[in-house]
Amino acid sequence: MTPEESAPGPEASLADEPEVRRALAEADRASVAAVVTEHPSSPLAWTELADLADSEGRAIEAYAYAAVAAELAREQLSASGWEQGSAVPWADEPNRAYLRALDTQRRAAAALGLDDRADRLAGELASADAEAPARIASEFTPTQLMPVVSAAALFAPTAPTVAPTADPIEEPVAQGATGED
């Protein structure tokens, strides 16, 4: 390494959150916000909430939740000596909360028409881990995030069918071979 070259920043790692992972694994879609309430400083919990909002097409909420997740992750990473632009490897599972938050925020920014911001977030994601965008795309596909229809909704009684009040339309009569009725 020459004096003009700078050493790459240290690889950073977020704290593992086994209690949050467990709570999220046991949670259904409706209770993810409760996990965030129980663990408000957890980047992972906020990232899950952001992904949920994104999967439901709620771009404003997805953007906001992902922004909180990314900021909490940056604070944790900075406290351990990380500097913006340094590596945050996907291979270290706790880091995936930060990387996923950046990607969710990027997608939401694009959906909201914040193209410059979406580009900056894409750059931040690529500088953290160049392989992360492809990993996220392959492991967190939209079909994995689709809203789940409950069994109760499938079997709920439907509104009664109302009989039509107008006179029925008469069927056309076929004409005979001579063209007469």
pLDDT at position 176 is: 55
Q: How far apart are CA 102 and CA 130, in angstroms?
A: 13
Q: Please indicate, yes or no, if residue 180 is contained in any of the structural domains.
A: no
Residue 95 included in any domain: yes
Q: Is a pLDDT exceeding 70 seen at residue 165?
A: no
Residue-wise pLDDT tens digits, 110-147 = 999 999 999 999 999 999 999 999 999 888 754 444 34
- Reduced to 3 states (helix: H, G, I; strand: E, B; else coil), residue 91 is coil
- Which residue from 5, 65, 12, 13 is spatially nearest to 40, judged by alpha carbons? 65
Which of 86 and 172 is assigned the larger pLDDT?
Answer: 86
pLDDT surpassing 50 at residue 5:
no
Residues 6+ apart with CB under 8 A from 171: none
**How many domains does one find in the chain?**
1
DSSP per position, 138-176: HHS-GGGGPPPPPHHHHSSPPPPPPPP-SPPPPPPPPP-
pLDDT at residue 148 is higher than 50: no
CATH code where residue 37 lies: 1.25.40
Evaluate whether residue 104 is within a structural domain: yes
**Owner of token pair 């001579």:** 178
Domain housing 26: 18-154
What 3-state DSSP class applies to 131? coil
pTM: 0.73
